[in-house]
Amino acid sequence: MSVKSRSRPPLRSVLLRVWVVCWLVLVWNLLWGQFSAANVVSGLAVALLITLLLPLPPVPVEGKVHLLSLARLLITVVYRLVLSSFQVAALAIKPGPPPLSAVLRAHLSVKSDLVLALAVSIFNLIPGSIVLEIDQSRRMLYMHVIDVGSDRSVSRFYAQVAEVERLLVRTFERDEDWRPASNGGDRA
């Protein structure tokens, strides 16, 4: 095989690898608790070993990121984090029997496995619920939810799931930007 026939990796792929190495060096230095030349060099060595010997599989990237929608998503998630924290704290100090909890099923209409994983991470961060199981093929999440003692609280939970799903789709999976990745397509 000649040198000309080998294709170079796309610039995006190279930049992503550089970003991962820089991130790992930063994490290494934070773990050691100080930035020094020795920590940066040893962090760089560890990061290169990890990325070269244990590479992650490529993840297909099919849509575009819309920054205004991303800002709305971040604001909503932060709002939900704060609100749910207060709600769970109120349930913890409320006298009487503990709140009724249950496992609820929620269907998401996201197309990408990457966005599904992001949705699961968001739901796990928000206090009061945790994802127990993911049915990847049907896009179904089974979540343990605290305080399902009334129809209103169950409706509030499903409204929260729908809002996060809508914001994720608006941020990453708009129909006009969606191009399913092919085997040799753009991969992160």
pLDDT digit string, tens, across residues 81-132: 999 999 889 988 989 888 899 999 999 999 888 889 999 999 999 888 999 9
Identify each DSSP E strand in 74-176 by its residue range.
101-107, 129-135, 140-146
Instruction: Please list the ranges in the chain whose pLDDT falls under 70.
Output: 1-9, 59-61, 178-188
Q: Phi and psi dihedrals of 161, rounded to 5?
A: -60, -45
Query: Which pLDDT does position 138 carry in this prediction?
Result: 93
Q: What is the pLDDT of residue 74?
A: 96
pLDDT at 176: 76
Question: What pLDDT, on a 0 to 100 scale, did the predictor assign at position 111?
Answer: 87
- In this prediction, residue 104 carries a pLDDT of 95
Report helix angle 151-172 to 113-125, nearest 10: 140
Please tell me the predicted confidence (pLDDT) of residue 5: 47
pLDDT at position 54, please?
87
Output the pLDDT for position 184: 46
Residue 7 confidence (pLDDT): 67
At residue 103, the pLDDT reads 95
Starting at the earlier edge strand, list the strands of the sheet with 140-146: 101-107, 140-146, 129-135
State the pLDDT at residue 101.
92
Question: What is the helix, strand, coil percentage profile of the chain, to 5?
Answer: 55, 10, 30
> Which residues make Cβ contacts (< 8 Å) with residue 146, sequence separation at least 6?
88, 91, 99, 101, 128, 129
